[in-house]
Amino acid sequence: MNMKNIGSFPHKIYSYHTKDMYGNVSLNKLLPLILDSAGSHAEILDISKELLLEKGYTWVLSRINLVLNKLVSDVDIIYVDTWIQKVRSAFSIRLFEVHDDNGQILARGVSYWSIIDTKTRSIAPIRKVIGDNDKTNSKEIPCKTPQKLIFEKGELVGQVIAQYSDLDYNKHVNSNRYVEWGINTLSPKFLARHQLCQLELNYNHEVYWNNEIKIYKTDTATHSDIELYNASQEQTACMMRLHFEPRDQRDK
């Protein structure tokens, strides 16, 4: 197997902050580990956020499709393999595979990343910023690319105000906080019977400190469609689709 430009990063699983109330590493707990691995891999490739910031640019995640193949519960360490599969003019395609010590695949994901100008917040041509040196690996995985999510506005189920602890180094709400806001619309009673098995996510616009976010949701038998609407800026901040299965089916 060609491992050129593929990074593999171990993560210790701690029951007190990486597992949910049912003892599993859920999607919102797994996502930060995956994004941290992407950052570590970017450092190895000399395209880290720190180096980009020196030039006046930064990476932003625009879309991700993350599929959980197996409940992550009885492992102490997981490994996140990640690589850039393709580089387009406006975005790069980064893939992920999460596995245990035995090589069993626990999750897979495909994500789109862009580079933006930190002053104008506009998208920059990636090759112009990172250069033409090959940093990719063409390895494929059985996971669909993230699609543009389009659905009708659902029922207003909650609202939040973005606070200081929600912000990241880009001075906007960090990527995982959106997911937590969405998952928090599901009750513990519902999650006692269902397990989240897939996350589709589109980041549309940045959210800043003190912005008011209204949360709209539509439920179906297999998924919940959630829109995070930034009432302060009068625009949609994020669209997500949370897929779930009955726990007894997922545990088989």
Instruction: Provide the CATH number for the domain around residue 229.
Output: 3.10.129.10
Residues 137 and 152 in one domain: no
pLDDT reading at 14 higher than 90 = no
Q: What percent of the chain has pLDDT over 90?
A: 81
Q: Can you give the pLDDT at residue 180?
A: 95
Higher pLDDT, 199 or 69: 199
Residues 106 and 10 in one domain: yes
Of the residues 146, 167, 200, which one is the last residue of a structural domain?
146
Q: What is the mean pLDDT of residues 213-236?
A: 97
Give the model confidence (pLDDT) of 59-113 as tens digits: 999 999 999 987 777 788 999 999 999 999 999 999 999 999 999 999 999 999 9
Whose structure tokens read 């007190």? 16
Of the residues 116, 146, 176, which one is the last residue of a structural domain?
146
Residues 7 and 107 in one domain: yes
φ, ψ for residue 247, nearest 5 deg: -60, -35
Residues 132 and 160 in one domain: no
Q: How far apart are the first and last CA of the chain?
A: 31
In sequence order, the 6+-apart residues with CB closer than 8 A to the CB of 181 are: 160, 213, 215, 228
Query: Can you tell me the distance from the alpha carbon of 39 to that of 134, in angstroms, rounded to the nearest whole number?
Result: 18
Instruction: For residue 234, name the pLDDT band (cuts at 50, 70, 90).
Output: very high
**How is 33-65 classified by DSSP, letter by letter?**
HHHHHHHHHHHHTT--HHHHHHTTEEEEEEEEE
Residues 172 and 125 in one domain: no
**Integer angstrom CA distances of residue 172 from 49, 166, 201, 222:** 15, 8, 17, 31
pLDDT reading at 166 higher than 90 = yes
φ, ψ for residue 39, nearest 5 deg: -65, -40
Tokens in use for 12? 């210790």
Residues 8 and 112 in one domain: yes
Total domains present in the chain? 2
Q: Can you give the pLDDT at residue 62?
A: 97
Residues 38 and 61 in one domain: yes
Residues 75 and 168 in one domain: no
17-26, 57-66, 209-218, 224-233: lowest mean pLDDT where? 17-26
Of the residues 120, 146, 172, which one is the last residue of a structural domain?
146
Q: Can you give the pLDDT at residue 24?
A: 79
Residues 160 and 228 in one domain: yes
Give the model confidence (pLDDT) of 30-47 as tens digits: 999 999 999 999 999 999
69-78, 202-211, 239-248: lowest mean pLDDT where? 69-78
Q: Can you give the pLDDT at residue 26?
A: 79
Residues 116 and 132 in one domain: yes
Residue 197: CB atoms within 10 Å: 21
CB 203 within 8 A of CB 62: yes
Q: Which amino acid is at 44?
A: I
Residues 70 and 194 in one domain: no
Instruction: For residue 1, name the pLDDT band (cuts at 50, 70, 90).
Output: low
Give the model confidence (pLDDT) of 183-198 as tens digits: 999 999 998 899 899 9
Residues 65 and 76 in one domain: yes
24-38, 114-128, 203-217: lowest mean pLDDT where? 24-38
**Integer angstrom CA distances of residue 252 from 69, 185, 216, 245, 247:** 12, 26, 33, 11, 9
The residue range of the domain holding 67 is 1-146
In sequence order, the 6+-apart residues with CB closer than 8 A to the CB of 76 are: 12, 13
Q: What percent of the chain has pLDDT over 70?
A: 97
- pTM strictly above 0.85: yes
